[in-house]
Amino acid sequence: MTLYKKIKIKNLKQIQQDALSIFPKERYDSTSFFFLPDSAKTFLKFKSIRTMLDSYGLTSYVEKCCVGYSAISPKIRIPIHKDSGGFTYSFNIPLTESKKSFVNFYETAVEPKLIIADNEKNDKALHYYDYNINDCTVIDKLETSSPYVLDTQVPHDVYNGSDEFRIMLLLRIDNSGNQVFEKVFDW
Ligand SMILES: [Fe+2]
Protein backbone atom coordinates (compact mmCIF):
# COMPACT_ATOMS: atom_id res chain seq x y z
CA MET A 1 0.00 0.00 0.00
CA THR A 2 1.35 3.42 -0.95
CA LEU A 3 1.10 5.90 1.90
CA TYR A 4 2.90 8.93 0.46
CA LYS A 5 5.31 10.07 -2.21
CA LYS A 6 7.80 12.91 -2.02
CA ILE A 7 7.53 15.25 -4.97
CA LYS A 8 9.75 17.88 -6.60
CA ILE A 9 8.13 21.24 -7.27
CA LYS A 10 9.99 23.56 -9.62
CA ASN A 11 8.46 26.82 -8.43
CA LEU A 12 8.37 25.88 -4.74
CA LYS A 13 9.88 29.18 -3.52
CA GLN A 14 7.19 31.21 -5.31
CA ILE A 15 4.39 28.99 -3.97
CA GLN A 16 5.75 29.37 -0.44
CA GLN A 17 5.98 33.13 -0.80
CA ASP A 18 2.46 33.43 -2.20
CA ALA A 19 0.79 31.10 0.31
CA LEU A 20 2.55 32.77 3.25
CA SER A 21 1.54 36.23 2.03
CA ILE A 22 -2.11 35.51 2.95
CA PHE A 23 -1.49 33.46 6.10
CA PRO A 24 -3.43 35.31 8.85
CA LYS A 25 -0.98 37.12 11.15
CA GLU A 26 -3.05 36.41 14.25
CA ARG A 27 -2.52 32.68 13.67
CA TYR A 28 1.25 32.94 13.99
CA ASP A 29 2.65 30.95 16.89
CA SER A 30 -0.48 28.98 17.68
CA THR A 31 -1.37 25.44 16.64
CA SER A 32 -4.32 25.45 14.26
CA PHE A 33 -5.83 23.77 11.25
CA PHE A 34 -8.08 25.90 9.10
CA PHE A 35 -9.39 26.85 5.68
CA LEU A 36 -9.76 30.41 4.44
CA PRO A 37 -13.23 31.34 3.11
CA ASP A 38 -13.51 30.26 -0.52
CA SER A 39 -10.20 28.58 0.03
CA ALA A 40 -9.62 26.85 -3.30
CA LYS A 41 -10.53 29.93 -5.34
CA THR A 42 -8.35 32.12 -3.13
CA PHE A 43 -5.26 29.99 -3.61
CA LEU A 44 -5.83 29.21 -7.28
CA LYS A 45 -5.59 32.95 -7.99
CA PHE A 46 -1.87 32.47 -7.51
CA LYS A 47 -0.23 31.59 -10.81
CA SER A 48 2.44 29.63 -8.94
CA ILE A 49 -0.07 27.21 -7.41
CA ARG A 50 -2.19 26.93 -10.53
CA THR A 51 0.87 26.19 -12.70
CA MET A 52 2.00 23.44 -10.34
CA LEU A 53 -1.46 21.79 -10.29
CA ASP A 54 -1.91 22.27 -14.06
CA SER A 55 1.30 20.29 -14.62
CA TYR A 56 -0.43 17.28 -13.00
CA GLY A 57 -3.86 17.94 -14.57
CA LEU A 58 -5.36 18.26 -11.08
CA THR A 59 -6.36 21.93 -10.87
CA SER A 60 -10.10 21.38 -11.35
CA TYR A 61 -10.21 18.71 -8.62
CA VAL A 62 -8.59 21.04 -6.09
CA GLU A 63 -11.01 23.77 -7.22
CA LYS A 64 -13.90 21.42 -6.33
CA CYS A 65 -12.43 20.70 -2.90
CA CYS A 66 -10.45 22.93 -0.55
CA VAL A 67 -7.06 24.34 0.41
CA GLY A 68 -5.98 24.95 3.98
CA TYR A 69 -3.15 25.45 6.43
CA SER A 70 -1.84 23.24 9.17
CA ALA A 71 0.17 25.28 11.67
CA ILE A 72 1.92 23.58 14.56
CA SER A 73 3.88 25.08 17.42
CA PRO A 74 7.22 23.55 18.51
CA LYS A 75 7.02 20.18 20.33
CA ILE A 76 3.29 19.82 19.70
CA ARG A 77 1.68 16.61 18.42
CA ILE A 78 -1.60 16.43 16.46
CA PRO A 79 -3.25 13.15 17.61
CA ILE A 80 -3.83 10.14 15.35
CA HIS A 81 -6.68 10.69 12.92
CA LYS A 82 -7.81 10.28 9.36
CA ASP A 83 -9.13 13.27 7.44
CA SER A 84 -12.73 13.74 6.35
CA GLY A 85 -14.36 16.00 3.75
CA GLY A 86 -14.84 14.40 0.35
CA PHE A 87 -11.18 13.83 -0.45
CA THR A 88 -8.60 11.06 -0.16
CA TYR A 89 -5.38 12.56 -1.50
CA SER A 90 -3.64 15.77 -0.61
CA PHE A 91 -0.60 17.80 -1.64
CA ASN A 92 1.20 18.94 1.52
CA ILE A 93 3.73 21.69 0.97
CA PRO A 94 5.97 23.07 3.76
CA LEU A 95 5.84 26.87 3.86
CA THR A 96 8.39 27.25 6.63
CA GLU A 97 11.42 25.28 7.71
CA SER A 98 9.97 21.85 8.51
CA LYS A 99 12.94 19.74 9.52
CA LYS A 100 12.35 17.51 12.55
CA SER A 101 8.65 17.62 11.79
CA PHE A 102 7.13 14.20 11.11
CA VAL A 103 4.02 12.39 9.94
CA ASN A 104 3.68 8.89 11.39
CA PHE A 105 1.38 6.42 9.66
CA TYR A 106 -0.44 3.71 11.66
CA GLU A 107 -2.42 0.56 11.21
CA THR A 108 -5.26 -0.49 13.47
CA ALA A 109 -8.15 -2.92 13.61
CA VAL A 110 -10.29 -0.52 15.63
CA GLU A 111 -12.86 1.82 14.06
CA PRO A 112 -12.31 5.55 14.71
CA LYS A 113 -14.68 8.05 16.31
CA LEU A 114 -16.00 10.93 14.17
CA ILE A 115 -15.11 14.30 15.67
CA ILE A 116 -17.26 17.21 14.58
CA ALA A 117 -15.14 20.33 14.49
CA ASP A 118 -16.50 23.06 16.68
CA ASN A 119 -16.31 26.06 14.37
CA GLU A 120 -18.92 28.64 13.50
CA LYS A 121 -19.51 27.40 9.92
CA ASN A 122 -19.47 23.73 10.91
CA ASP A 123 -17.21 23.17 7.94
CA LYS A 124 -17.21 19.48 6.86
CA ALA A 125 -13.59 19.75 5.77
CA LEU A 126 -12.73 20.23 9.44
CA HIS A 127 -14.36 17.02 10.62
CA TYR A 128 -12.02 14.12 11.24
CA TYR A 129 -11.83 10.57 12.58
CA ASP A 130 -10.03 10.10 15.87
CA TYR A 131 -8.09 6.98 17.00
CA ASN A 132 -6.81 5.85 20.36
CA ILE A 133 -3.02 5.53 20.25
CA ASN A 134 -3.20 2.29 22.26
CA ASP A 135 -5.05 0.63 19.36
CA CYS A 136 -2.50 1.65 16.71
CA THR A 137 0.89 0.41 15.45
CA VAL A 138 3.32 2.66 13.53
CA ILE A 139 3.96 1.43 9.99
CA ASP A 140 5.92 4.32 8.48
CA LYS A 141 7.37 7.74 9.26
CA LEU A 142 7.95 10.72 6.98
CA GLU A 143 9.92 13.90 7.63
CA THR A 144 7.89 16.79 6.20
CA SER A 145 10.81 18.99 5.19
CA SER A 146 9.98 18.71 1.47
CA PRO A 147 6.67 18.57 -0.44
CA TYR A 148 4.78 15.29 -0.65
CA VAL A 149 1.44 13.80 -1.61
CA LEU A 150 -0.30 11.41 0.77
CA ASP A 151 -3.30 9.20 1.35
CA THR A 152 -5.14 11.02 4.13
CA GLN A 153 -7.33 7.98 4.80
CA VAL A 154 -4.52 6.06 6.48
CA PRO A 155 -4.45 6.91 10.21
CA HIS A 156 -1.67 9.42 10.87
CA ASP A 157 -0.42 11.94 13.38
CA VAL A 158 1.89 14.92 13.04
CA TYR A 159 4.65 15.97 15.40
CA ASN A 160 6.67 19.15 15.26
CA GLY A 161 9.91 18.14 16.98
CA SER A 162 11.72 21.34 16.06
CA ASP A 163 12.00 24.65 17.90
CA GLU A 164 10.34 26.52 15.04
CA PHE A 165 6.71 27.29 14.27
CA ARG A 166 5.75 25.09 11.31
CA ILE A 167 3.20 25.87 8.56
CA MET A 168 2.08 23.45 5.82
CA LEU A 169 -0.14 24.24 2.85
CA LEU A 170 -2.71 21.48 2.20
CA LEU A 171 -4.22 21.16 -1.27
CA ARG A 172 -7.04 18.60 -1.23
CA ILE A 173 -8.03 16.60 -4.32
CA ASP A 174 -11.78 16.03 -4.64
CA ASN A 175 -12.59 12.30 -4.74
CA SER A 176 -13.76 12.63 -8.36
CA GLY A 177 -10.09 13.15 -9.25
CA ASN A 178 -8.79 10.00 -7.56
CA GLN A 179 -8.24 8.08 -10.78
CA VAL A 180 -6.34 10.95 -12.39
CA PHE A 181 -4.24 11.34 -9.25
CA GLU A 182 -3.45 7.63 -9.02
CA LYS A 183 -2.38 7.52 -12.64
CA VAL A 184 -0.20 10.63 -12.41
CA PHE A 185 1.58 9.42 -9.28
CA ASP A 186 1.61 5.74 -10.22
CA TRP A 187 -0.14 4.96 -6.91
FE1 LIG B 1 -4.48 14.74 8.64
Q: What angle do CA 158, 163, 167 make, to 5 degrees?
A: 50
Q: If you measure from the C-alpha of residue 22 to the centroid of ligand 1, how many angstroms do you get, rounded to a whole number?
A: 22
Rounded distance between C-alpha atoms, residue 68 and residue 34, angstroms: 6
User: Using 50, 70 and 90 to split pLDDT, how confident is the model at 128?
Assistant: confident
> Cβ(126)–Cβ(70) under 8 Å?
no
Q: Which domains does the chain show, CATH number per domain?
A: 4-184 (2.60.120)
User: Among positive and negative, which fits the CA dihedral 76, 73, 66, 9?
Assistant: negative
Q: If you measure from the C-alpha of residue 166 to the centroid of ligand 1, how many angstroms do you get, rounded to a whole number?
A: 15
* Per-chain mean pLDDT for the chain: 92
Residue 137 has pLDDT above 70, yes or no: yes
Q: 0.75 exceeded by the pTM?
A: yes
Q: If you measure from the C-alpha of residue 82 to the centroid of ligand 1, how many angstroms do you get, rounded to a whole number?
A: 6
